[in-house]
Structure 1
């Protein structure tokens, strides 16, 4: 171990020991594969290339998305095939296998938007990536989301071919979440006037409980609160519009105020990054290098695609004979579901709390195994009933050999860790999430965990650079649930990683403390004035001094001095009998 690592072990002996595939399917087209886990990432922008879009292309590449959307005006000035080949192809052309485009008004400055279809579908081809030539509306799925690409340069009126197609498409999807995107926004505070002809399209999307509408046309960024097609705020059923005309074309300034506006900027190029799950979304405006404006928001899906209003998922569980454990059942969609279990192995009993569960929500299943329970793995069925409908899911329950573990947490489910009420950090607070990787002169936050998909991490997002979501502004902490230690020589072990910038001083730190009748710091890493790169390490701590006590673990990280780079992670916390 390098001498720069400092360890403190007052009162305790410390020693150191040494993607899923997500199908992206276009309706009526080919299927591509994107990388993801429990969530998928989709990015995009509009008003992209003249000659100033390489920076935003770099952001798309760094996001490693499952799919890329465009909100029109992809190639200036006229959307001709030569414009696409000269300006768009060298920058955004590298995402051809991921792209899901829509046309803007500049594409139609070439007759029939021929350059747009010739580029995306192939010269003379009537069908392809961009939908049917002359129509340009189509849909595709990624993860648990249904995306609808629309063409705001042709009729959007009620009863038009596009509006009728849209309503039929929305009724047919089985996905729980929906986003639509097209060029001309119904709501904007930019230089262009609102496109009121888009209202029937909005109405169709509103009637079918869509969640997001993405636009371009105005060369700036605008985010609105969920609203109805008439502009009335509607937090329950409204659609959130995000205008992201920041792909690379010269900016348009703001010319009016608008109700329901939540965030806006008219001087920063960037992309919209959407992290999508089966129950909601997290949106982030990612700026190009050298710019500071960002935006971060989230929302829940209306779950309109779940048959019968709700669906169930459950986590696997392992329990030792004579022991107990918990697992989680998640209820997505809408309604109040009464849960029950069947197929429990002999010697194992269970309780569910709360029950019923109001969706979206989750229940904790406590599993107790008698000492006589037979080791082995059993498939347990979870049933839920709501609104006259019954849904089921299963999970694997393993009855293992008698365990030496007193406590174990791999952070794949919530076991009761709490964030400090008096913490002062403004970003990079501890959370139990799937981390994204950051780097600055080496790895800082690791994009990996030591098991499963989650760890404790100080601000799991990567942002536009290593300093976007690191710890800033003070201290952040997380405290474990109570752990009752046996007599004898119990032992604590955990995996950890710390990344520190060269600007980190001794006022910046990562620290783990055991709190019982007294408190003991068992691990501390401070800033060294040099880059400290993140990597997974193992700590092992003798807890004999706390034997027989009920203790909690306190995990801390702090940016204590001038703003500096501080990242930390913890995984696989285990207390054993020793």
Structure 2
């Protein structure tokens, strides 16, 4: 039998449909007698335009069908499921293994989703446990994990802990996961950085594929790490297939590691799976010509072991800085550094590091340290096994900084320092922001450096208005900063996103003492979030001790207000 016929040989057929958002805590087995199975699917499926993709699923004669959310528009209500989903994709009900998307959660608690798949009032069923939606099942030599990106995915959350335990328990040689919100996307939606802990758990356990929806287009990425670094050996390939039938979203950004993309073709993803790897194909609806064809090998599982990564760092002579070493996998790793240039010393805490985890490396440079860039080697040892990683350390020119905060650690900023804040949600906090969008990005899921920034309610929730500023004012104040004499300049990175319902009573504002130095007010039109740089002359404050105050307010009727600040710097000259 030639290679093409072997790929198309009869076997169980499984359908994957993108738009995930429900995580189940039960385990379902789909035993398949064939060594090779076929998985087909797509995401973001049924308004009134999903019959063509349903026809493709039917033609595949699948053994199982699973969705990755946003199955029934507009609100995932029981009526939406019965009106739009049932006539097209409802024919696969006996085969379905679904997950919900964010549109399901536009009906409170995704009740329509649970009622349709499990039956009204039932706590468990084919959609898993009501309110959770994360679960796993096996087909052929593959282990599939369905996850819910509408509930907490943070490290230590119930879902993340369940996932790590589930991945450790499987004996299957190959692993795929599917959920709604993608960590990596070049579409209209912002990347969902809240999914990074889930990615990390899958990466640590050598998963092979991650399948998403949410953006209504097709995107395929080269294998990569959770931080977006290409990794042909241990990376996970993401395929975003939000092409089940909903109106298309155009591409709005470039992304590293993208291998194929299309934003004008409905279709399904077909995965032909065996014990050693996979072949993927995008199958278009009738009359369309875009296709995609790719393949990959499953990573050897065995003992997960451990691996190291390290971030680059820059330090000024006479100064200090920190960087991070991440330990993935399992075990307790004792870390050490080599290759430090003359005049630079380092300490590591904690040490050892229990994987998965991270250590902070503090680097101190003597005033006599010679400027230049060195390659530093980080070694980690677990149970007699040693692995290494490298990072670039740059000793720069003497710093002109009087003050700098990138919010990677708590330096003493205080919320509501004046005691006059009255916002009911969206208070300023230091953290890793999740992305929100409403007619464009509002809260960015990115920072300008590191992991954390200052953000008005870092969570995304089920919609752009879930954790924005509501009900009044929220403020945060810096620690006291003593300024020297001479010319001084304040610079910072900032983003403000305001809805079309925001008026001039709604604002983002930065003050030094009581002087407003930066302001963005509502305009009655959408003001989309984007990282911008502010530069302010502070020479008038030379010789004084000052505090920086950052404010955001929903001052009039309820409106959409989001804001972020990162990399606050006061420098001489």
Give the TM-score of the pair, scaled to structure 1. Answer: 0.49
Q: 1:32 touches 1:97 (CA, 8 Å); kept in 2?
A: no
Deviation at 1:71, TM superposition (A): 1.2
Q: 2:317 touches 2:371 (CA, 8 Å); kept in 1?
A: yes
Q: 1:270 touches 1:286 (CA, 8 Å); kept in 2?
A: yes
Match of 1:101 among 95, 98, 102: 98
- 1:185 and 1:351, CA in 2 relative to 1: closer, same or farther beyond 3 A? closer
Runs of 4+ in 1 over 2 A off after TM superposition: 1-19, 26-38, 309-515, 519-578
Deviation at 1:346, TM superposition (A): 73
Q: Distance in 1 between matches of 2:399 and 2:370?
A: 14
- 1:313 and 1:176, CA in 2 relative to 1: closer, same or farther beyond 3 A? farther
Q: After alignment, is 387-396 or 176-185 more displaced?
A: 387-396
**What do residues 35-66 of structure 1 show as CA deviations (whole Å, max 9, x unaligned)?**
77330011111100001000000000111122
Q: After alignment, is 387-396 or 190-199 more displaced?
A: 387-396
Question: Which structure 1 residue ranges, 5 or more long, are not aligned?
Answer: 20-25
- 1:370 and 1:501, CA in 2 relative to 1: closer, same or farther beyond 3 A? same
- 1:82 and 1:27, CA in 2 relative to 1: closer, same or farther beyond 3 A? closer
Q: After alignment, is 116-125 or 439-448 more displaced?
A: 439-448
Q: 2:243 touches 2:265 (CA, 8 Å); kept in 1?
A: yes
Q: 1:492 touches 1:574 (CA, 8 Å); kept in 2?
A: yes
Q: After alignment, is 183-192 or 347-356 more displaced?
A: 347-356
**What do residues 439-487 of structure 1 show as CA deviations (whole Å, max 9, x unaligned)?**
9999999999999999999999999999999999999999999999999
**What do residues 334-377 of structure 1 show as CA deviations (whole Å, max 9, x unaligned)?**
99999999999999999999999999999999999999999999
Q: Distance in 2 between matches of 1:201 and 1:18?
A: 17
Q: 1:4 touches 1:528 (CA, 8 Å); kept in 2?
A: no
**What do residues 512-532 of structure 1 show as CA deviations (whole Å, max 9, x unaligned)?**
9999xxx99999999999999
- 1:396 and 1:48, CA in 2 relative to 1: closer, same or farther beyond 3 A? same
**What do residues 94-149 of structure 1 show as CA deviations (whole Å, max 9, x unaligned)?**
11121111110000000000000111111111111111111110000001100000
Q: 2:28 touches 2:138 (CA, 8 Å); kept in 1?
A: no
Q: 1:380 touches 1:397 (CA, 8 Å); kept in 2?
A: yes
Q: 2:220 touches 2:240 (CA, 8 Å); kept in 1?
A: yes
Q: 1:15 touches 1:539 (CA, 8 Å); kept in 2?
A: no
Q: Distance in 2 between matches of 1:62 and 1:537?
A: 50
Deviation at 1:210, TM superposition (A): 0.3
Q: 1:272 touches 1:286 (CA, 8 Å); kept in 2?
A: yes
**What do residues 69-95 of structure 1 show as CA deviations (whole Å, max 9, x unaligned)?**
211100000000110011001111111
Deviation at 1:303, TM superposition (A): 3.1
When the two structures are aligned, how many residues end up with a matched partner?
A: 568
- 1:418 and 1:185, CA in 2 relative to 1: closer, same or farther beyond 3 A? closer
User: Residue 23 of structure 1 aligns with which residue?
Assistant: none
- 1:58 and 1:513, CA in 2 relative to 1: closer, same or farther beyond 3 A? farther
Question: Which structure 2 residue ranges, 5 or more long, are not aligned?
Answer: none
Q: 1:11 touches 1:545 (CA, 8 Å); kept in 2?
A: no
Deviation at 1:569, TM superposition (A): 62
- 1:360 and 1:296, CA in 2 relative to 1: closer, same or farther beyond 3 A? farther
**What do residues 504-552 of structure 1 show as CA deviations (whole Å, max 9, x unaligned)?**
999999999999xxx9999999999999999999999999999999999
Q: How does 1:440-519 map to 2 (within 5 A)?
A: none
Q: 1:476 touches 1:556 (CA, 8 Å); kept in 2?
A: yes
Deviation at 1:304, TM superposition (A): 1.4
Q: 2:14 touches 2:38 (CA, 8 Å); kept in 1?
A: no
Q: After alignment, is 349-358 or 394-403 more displaced?
A: 394-403
- 1:535 and 1:88, CA in 2 relative to 1: closer, same or farther beyond 3 A? same
**What do residues 355-402 of structure 1 show as CA deviations (whole Å, max 9, x unaligned)?**
999999999999999999999999999999999999999999999999
Q: 2:29 touches 2:137 (CA, 8 Å); kept in 1?
A: no
Q: Distance in 2 between matches of 1:284 and 1:480?
A: 53
- 1:261 and 1:552, CA in 2 relative to 1: closer, same or farther beyond 3 A? same
Q: 1:9 touches 1:523 (CA, 8 Å); kept in 2?
A: no
CA RMSD, 1 decimal:
20.6
Q: 2:335 touches 2:380 (CA, 8 Å); kept in 1?
A: yes
Q: Distance in 2 between matches of 1:72 and 1:126?
A: 19
Q: Distance in 2 between matches of 1:155 and 1:540?
A: 37
Q: 2:406 touches 2:449 (CA, 8 Å); kept in 1?
A: yes
